[in-house]
Amino acid sequence: MPDKLDQAREQLARANRMIAHEGVLDAFGHVTIRHPTDPGRYLMSVSRAPELVQPGDILEFTLDSKPVKPTDIRLYGERVIHGGIYQARPDVNAVCHHHAASILPFCVSGVELKPVYHLGATLGSKVPFWDSRDDFGDTNLIVAKPEEGASLARALDEHWIVLMRRHGATVAGKTLEELVFRTIYTARNAALQIQAHVLGNVSPLTATEAELAGEYNLRASPISRAWEYWSVRLDKAEGTYRARKANKKSPGKRKTKARR
């Protein structure tokens, strides 16, 4: 039987690289998942660019964001973002923090991010803002203290994405696959909203449309279809893709009997 922890490390490393390959993560940002057998822990890479993360980089952390096994390896400074959310939200099993270029204008301006097309409905019913100044005054904008992580988790509340003023976004999901889907498509939704605003008219989804489209898109079938697509794109970029062998020969290559 495959080891669940090894499988989780493999999938988490792939998710880091996948989201980076799709242009949402760059040198910074991070993705985590709750431990597959111990809900009181989560998995996170050591500090390196998401595009480079491999299974061997993945360590275990307590929900207080401390490594289960002491290490001298450099860790992400903002891991309390993840630990705080896992503590506050038992239904969340995956988290991504990023600074996508399409999201940052909303974080800077305070303009509300809204679903403007069907795949953007994974934003949920509302996208709250969190401003570190409200609770902590002037800071270096890095969320590194436990109380800062807890404050951010309170702002997220029951929602699935929270915008961090002058910083970036944090996205949550019930599964890793759902998280990847939501992270990529909400970043694309943000870009479309900005483009539509330039044209002069933004017509967002109604609350009912967003609810119905969100439920439809978060079914297992659309999520697995997108995961496979992004996974193959990643394999091709990394030079590891091998096309599946067809079960049947192409019609154009079938042998035909010679006519007599």
Q: Closest Cα partner for 216 from 185, 171, 172, 176?
A: 185
CB-based contacts of 254, cutoff 8 Å, min separation 6: none
Listed in sequence order, the DSSP H helices in the chain are: 4-21, 80-88, 104-109, 132-136, 146-156, 176-199, 207-217, 220-238
Torsion of CA 213, 215, 219, 223, to 10 degrees: 50
Active-site position among 22, 78, 177, 178: 78
The identity of residue 3, as a single letter, is: D
Q: In the annotation, is 178 catalytic?
A: no
Distance CA 259, CA 205 (A): 62
Alpha carbon distance 165, 104 (integer Å): 9
Contact 100, 187 (CB under 8 A): yes
Residues annotated as catalytic (active site), given as ranges:
78
